[in-house]
């Protein structure tokens, strides 16, 4: 049988492993930070109607500039953003890939603060960008001083700030974003994939865009918006930076079906986001209960919780899986990550964890 090693693959991809969150059909899937609540049925019907109308025109290519979608995204984000400040792609992974294709690439580097979202390194590899990681402060926080020191040391072409950070859940202060944007020579991306789950009143990096043409803020409809399967991510920034992404995208990269579905979901933004408060509540419940059981949950502004104090993470992962509960091994010794699900899913997880509790009585 031919193995990958037998093929003339690029030298810099040899030996690498693809993104690999396990895909398993289980009753309680809490491993990839989805919104586990299904989308409301009336919204689904409206989306179906819009997609049906788009199907009748599938003989034609879609709007290459996704004009209507840009306007709807600008409207949704507010902050007086104009449609030409918006970009969208098939998930924010593709948005980030466009950024690295345009602003990274061979001979250039991207900097992140580990542990952080595992796709950053893979996207860097795929685009031939050198991937550099710097450390964080205690409890995975990232202070302006720590972040600025790393930017000064490595002088990267792209900085990827994950706010809140995956897999740790750590919120990121705008002071850190501001400080990094002040010293960075290159593009600074703030990945706000989970920002809707932050404490109410938490300001977004969108508030910093004015006068900072190298600052980009990426978002996704996959998490709070409960639209992971549709693959819609987006970004806001200076019109010139957004325009640069048109150089690297494939023509017609957003299908007419995707555009129609996204417009339908955005037309019902309030209903789509209705479960966010409840998910935040379940996240708080996980943090409180895990601490009570004797684990060490970290501060989270996302829809998941990272916790330490696990003697044998793989054994716990396996034992939960045997009970139909899938969580995430993220490769940090003694730690696991769990997504906040529905109340019932969260209860199933917490009951299963009680068996492994350091404080078990």
C-alpha span between 205 and 217 (Å, rounded): 7
Sequence-separated (6 or more) residues with CB below 8 Å from residue 211 = none
Region of 86-94, 204-212, 292-300, 322-330 interacting with ligand PMP (CB under 6 A): 86-94
Count, residues near ligand PMP per rule CB under 6 A: 13
193 binds ligand PMP (CB under 6 A): yes
Find the binding residues for ligand PMP in span 195-224 (CB under 6 A).
220, 222
User: Which of the stretches 89-97, 98-106, 329-337, 339-347 binds ligand PMP when contact is defined by CB under 6 A?
Assistant: 89-97
Binding mask 104-143 for ligand PMP (x = CB under 6 A): -------------x--------------------------
- Give the start-end residues of each E strand in 104-232: 109-113, 130-134, 158-162, 187-191, 215-220
SS3 111: strand
Candidate list 28, 30, 31, 33; residue touching ligand PMP; CB under 6 A:
33
Cα(93)–Cα(313) distance, integer angstroms? 28
Helices of type H across the chain: 41-55, 67-77, 92-103, 119-126, 144-154, 174-183, 239-245, 256-267, 269-272, 276-293, 313-322, 343-354
Q: Residue 172 has which token pair?
A: 């990121």
CB-based closest residue to ligand PMP: 91
Among residues 309 and 341, whose Cβ is nearest to ligand PMP?
341
Binding mask 35-74 toward ligand PMP (x if CB under 6 A, else -) reads ----------------------------------------
Q: Which residues of 216-249 are buried (b: 16+ CB within 10 A; e: fewer)?
A: bbbbbbbbbbbbbebbbbbbbbbeebbebbeebb
User: Among residues 105 and 233, whose Cβ is nearest to ligand PMP?
Assistant: 233
Contact 164, 173 (CB under 8 A): no
Choosing from 141, 157, 191, 345, the residue that interacts with ligand PMP (CB under 6 A) is 191
Minimum CB separation from ligand PMP for residue 228, in Å? 6
Residues near ligand PMP, by CB under 6 A: 33, 91-93, 117, 162, 166, 191, 193, 220, 222, 228, 233
């Amino acid at each position: 049988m031919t193995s990958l090693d037998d093929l003339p693959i690029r030298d810099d991809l040899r030996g690498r492993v693809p993104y690999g969150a396990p895909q398993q059909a289980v009753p309680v899937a809490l491993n990839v930070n989805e919104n586990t609540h299904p989308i409301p049925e009336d919204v689904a019907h409206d989306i179906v109607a819009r997609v049906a109308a788009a199907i009748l025109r599938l003989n034609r290519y879609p709007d290459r500039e996704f004009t209507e979608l840009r306007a709807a995204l600008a409207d949704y984000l507010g902050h007086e953003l104009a449609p030409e400040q918006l970009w969208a792609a098939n998930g924010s992974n593709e948005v980030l890939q466009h950024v690295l294709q345009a602003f990274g690439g061979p001979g250039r580097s991207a900097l992140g603060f580990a542990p952080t979202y595992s796709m950053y390194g893979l996207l860097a590899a795929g685009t031939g960008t050198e991937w550099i990681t710097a450390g964080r402060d205690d409890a995975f926080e990232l202070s302006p001083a720590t972040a600025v020191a790393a930017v000064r040391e490595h002088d990267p072409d792209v900085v990827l700030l994950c706010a809140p950070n995956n897999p740790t859940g750590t919120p990121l202060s705008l002071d850190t974003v501001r400080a990094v944007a002040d010293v960075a020579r290159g593009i600074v991306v703030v990945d706000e994939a989970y920002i809707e789950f932050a404490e109410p009143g938490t300001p977004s990096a969108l508030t910093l865009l004015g006068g900072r043409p190298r600052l980009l803020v990426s978002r996704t409809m996959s998490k709070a918006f409960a639209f992971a399967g549709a693959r819609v991510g987006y970004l806001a920034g200076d019109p010139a930076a957004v325009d640069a992404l048109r150089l690297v995208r494939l023509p017609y990269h957003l299908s007419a079906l995707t555009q129609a579905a996204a417009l339908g979901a955005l037309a019902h933004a309030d209903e789509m986001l209705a479960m966010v408060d409840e998910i935040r509540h379940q996240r708080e419940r996980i943090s409180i209960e895990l601490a009570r059981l004797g684990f060490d949950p970290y501060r989270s502004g996302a829809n998941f919780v990272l916790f330490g104090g696990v003697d044998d993470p793989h054994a716990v992962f396996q034992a939960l899986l045997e009970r139909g509960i899938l969580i995430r091994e993220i490769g940090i010794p003694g730690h696991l990550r769990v997504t906040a699900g529905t109340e019932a899913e969260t209860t199933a997880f917490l009951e299963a964890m009680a068996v492994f509790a350091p404080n078990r009585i």
